[in-house]
Amino acid sequence: MERLPVQFIRVVDVRRVTPHMARVTFTGDDLGTLPLDGPDQQVKLYFPRPGQASPVLPLPEPDDDMMRWYAAYTAIPEHERPWMRSYTIRAYHRHDDTIDVDFVLHCDAGPATRWAQSAKPGDTLGMFGPAPAFARPVPLATAVTEADWFLLVGDESALPAIGTLIEWLPAGVRTVAYVEVDGPAEEQHLPTRGDVTVHWLHRGEAQAGRNQGLLDAVRTASFPPGSVFAWLAGEAGTVRALRRHLVDERGVDKRAIDFSGYWRRRLTQDDAPTEADLADARELLAHAQELTAAAAARAEEAAGQDDETASARSVFDEAYRSQFAPWEIGGPQPAVVALERDGWLRGTVLDVGCGTGEHTIHLTRLGYDVHGVDFSTEAVVQAGAKAAERGVAARFEVADALDLGDEARYDCILDSALFHVFEPGDRTRYVRSLHRACRPGALVHVLALSDDGPGYGPQVSDTAIREAFGEGWALEDLRAAHYRGVVGRNGETGDLPAWLARIRRL
């Protein structure tokens, strides 16, 4: 087993690239072994708490896997546990094995920005990565060179990654970039071998993420002829709108767009979703289903079932990595909160299909012995980071819901929006897997999108739930409920028809 890529890095230089961008150069004992084989390499940085000279981090043992190391990390007392944030490696200098990381110095300063504002040589951070969990499923080199031209769009949070992409470009690759920054002083010189045109968009007094400048510039742009591969990053709502424009108004193939929501404005909630909102959400989940089906078909043709599973996992990893999953609302489902409040959760709880961990974190904070599992490695990584940022020692693991093992160790299983994604054949496998994981008398709670629409994405009937939980189960309750999801163009959430079932394992 390869050693986990965890190490301490030390500042050797700090300089201002622009008035609001600091470039920090780091050295470290293991930087010479980093697998930096392309642009836009992502890492997790760990920042010390006040009064600490360096972050308190567990060093990985030779046989550690990611989740075992993460469990040791979350066991660190909250007041000592370092803050964790994601960053792009801006440059790697092979002559002295140092790396550069750029920090946006914005007004609403969190722990990373506060650290960067006062960073000096000798200061120490922790770093996890680069790692396969952060890698994109399709190499950029393939996607870019197969297109006639390359489109880059982002705000200043995406500028470090955009810089690596422009500097990496093969000679002559036609590229057009739209980059939003505060003003002229924030523009950067980006050397390249490609045929690159950069349009700098100045936000002025407008607040980042709350203006239409970037979107309007792309909407009114005259694109070069031929096929395009687009890379979009920045505020998640803006990225979503840009992607929708490229697909719906420009006719760009969805598979020709790489997108990442680096940050998100505070989500607001509509009293009720409009039909246009629901249409948006249907499009999002339909796209995810198309990608999953296409990946599975390619994998089966190429190399059989094992590769099919890996391809499907990579699709969901990318959905979480891009923050483009409409089932992620930034908090627990109201129906789940009500289940706990009414006393229907007990003992050892499994949060199956936990996503980025909202229910696991919520229940752990309330004192439950709860374990979150998900098929997506990226979801589990984000869940761990979210728990650490909130100071909750929640447990997460990558696992296949169709094979949860043969040990009956759970008194309660929570399924929020997982059952309905399975085809009938896999539903049977899933329910058998749940039965093996449950102790006799255990309760399973299923919250699934209802075919009693309007709704979006995969939906099931109450009959499908009744039929799936047959022999070996007792269906105690099945009622109409609501599932909250992202339904608006700007991240607004709304309640959609759902079924809520309570089933007892015999």
- Write down the domain spans for the chain: 6-133, 136-265, 334-505
How far is residue 256's CA from residue 259's CA, in Å, rounded to a whole number? 10
Torsion (CA) 292, 294, 296, 300 in degrees, nearest 10: 180
| One-letter amino acid of 438 | C
Q: Helix (H, G, I), strand (E, B), or coil: what is residue 273?
A: coil
How far is residue 351's CA from residue 354's CA, in Å, rounded to a whole number? 5
Predicted local confidence at residue 437, as pLDDT: 96
The yes-or-no answer to whether 6-133 and 334-505 have a common fold is: no
Predicted local confidence at residue 318, as pLDDT: 63
The alpha-carbon radius of gyration of the chain (Å, integer) is 23
The answer to whether 444 and 482 are in contact (CB under 8 A) is no
Output the pTM of the full model: 0.59
Alpha-carbon torsion 163, 141, 233, 386, what sign? negative
Start-end of H helices in 220-272: 236-244
Alpha-carbon torsion 31, 35, 38, 44, what sign? negative
User: What token pair was written down for 291?
Assistant: 């990608």
CATH superfamily, domain 6-133, is: Translation factors (2.40.30.10)
| One-letter amino acid of 326 | P
CB atoms within 10 A of CB 310: 13
- Strand-pair partners of 488: none
Predicted local confidence at residue 321, as pLDDT: 67
User: What token pair was written down for 421?
Assistant: 């994604």
Task: Specify whether domain 136-265 bears CATH 3.40.47.10.
Answer: no
Edge-to-edge strand list for the sheet holding 149-155: 195-202, 174-181, 149-155, 228-235, 257-263
Helices (H) and strands (E) in the chain, counts: 13, 18
Q: What is the DSSP letter of 76?
A: S
Distance of CA 440 to the CA centre of its chain: 36
User: What token pair was written down for 209?
Assistant: 């993420």
Query: Could you state, in chain order, the average pLDDT of each consecutive group of 10 residues for the chain (506 residues)?
Result: 80 96 94 75 91 89 68 83 90 90 86 93 92 57 83 95 92 94 95 94 81 91 95 88 93 86 54 41 47 46 46 60 74 94 95 95 94 89 84 89 93 96 90 96 96 72 94 96 76 83 97
Predicted local confidence at residue 390, as pLDDT: 85
Predicted local confidence at residue 15, as pLDDT: 96
CA atoms within a 13 Å half-sphere pointing along the CA-CB vector of 333: 29
Q: What is the DSSP letter of 134?
A: G
Would you tell me which CATH number, out of the four given (3.40.50.150, 3.90.1150.10, 3.40.470.10, 3.90.550.10), belongs to the domain 334-505?
3.40.50.150
The answer to whether 380 and 396 are in contact (CB under 8 A) is yes
Angle at 191 between CA 185 and CA 192, to 5 degrees: 140
- Strand-pair partners of 247: none
Alpha carbon separation from 421 to 41, 209, 254, 432 (Å, rounded): 32, 33, 21, 16
- Strand-pair partners of 92: 99
